[in-house]
Chains A and B, each alone.
Chain A
């Protein structure tokens, strides 16, 4: 099956800890994205990558980091510098930047 997978579905973290969220796609898409969604809100762009080994900051990149070493994978690390990390995190991909985006099922992160 083609698609985007995110793991884990639920993640709990203690304050002060870094945590990495996984995003994998087998759609052969060049572009990948990370969004954050808070309750009752739309999506805000954290980071995006148009091609392997390249990525750019979105609107709310502070306290987050990413890598894009493989076309299929775009992991997001939520660092201890992120002041309010509890949220629903969504990964997406598109054939090219600006095209229709296809979303994964999301990871709900809770900081205890």
Chain B
């Protein structure tokens, strides 16, 4: 079963704009991770945020985590056409520590 659910399913913006994607999950977590997938390719890890963290930054990426609402958001600032991809959140629930549970993803299209 899916743990994380991304919202929106698809997002289309112009270059230079910011893109925000949200992820909601159902059970408590050890950490939450965001991955990116270009069409037909493997996933690339973007950022990991632990359950005791509220915000992390990496370059143009900003991730927030609200464990009380069981939600996370990924913000990409000053988007570029090369950011066009699907973005997935994945949760690590700890008890079965090996396991990442992925959402269905948000398809981001950045128009030049």
A residues apposed to B, CB below 8 Å: 4, 31, 33, 35, 40-45, 48, 50, 56, 58-59, 88, 90, 92, 97-98, 100-106, 108
Contact = CB atoms under 8 A, between A and B. Distances in A.
A58 B44 CA distance: 21
B22 interface: no
Contact of A42 (B2, B42, B44, B99): B2
Q: How large is the interface on B (under 10, 10 to 19, 20 to 34, 35 or more residues)?
A: 20 to 34
20 contacts: A40-B104, A42-B2, A42-B88, A42-B105, A43-B43, A43-B88, A45-B100, A48-B98, A50-B98, A88-B40, A90-B42, A98-B92, A98-B97, A100-B45, A100-B48, A101-B100, A104-B42, A105-B42, A106-B40, A106-B42
A95 to B, nearest CB: 12
B42 A103 contact: yes
Contacts, number: 57
B20 to A, nearest CB: 19
Interface of B: 1-2, 4, 30, 33, 35, 40-45, 48, 88, 90, 92, 94, 97-105
Given A105-B41, A106-B42, A108-B40, 11 more contacts: A41-B104, A42-B102, A43-B90, A43-B102, A59-B1, A90-B42, A90-B43, A97-B97, A98-B30, A98-B99, A101-B45
Nearest to A50: B98
Given A98-B92, A103-B44, A106-B41, A42 B103 contact: yes
A45 B99 contact: yes
A103 B30 CA distance: 21
B44 to A, nearest CB: 7
A100 B34 CA distance: 10
B104 to A, nearest CB: 5
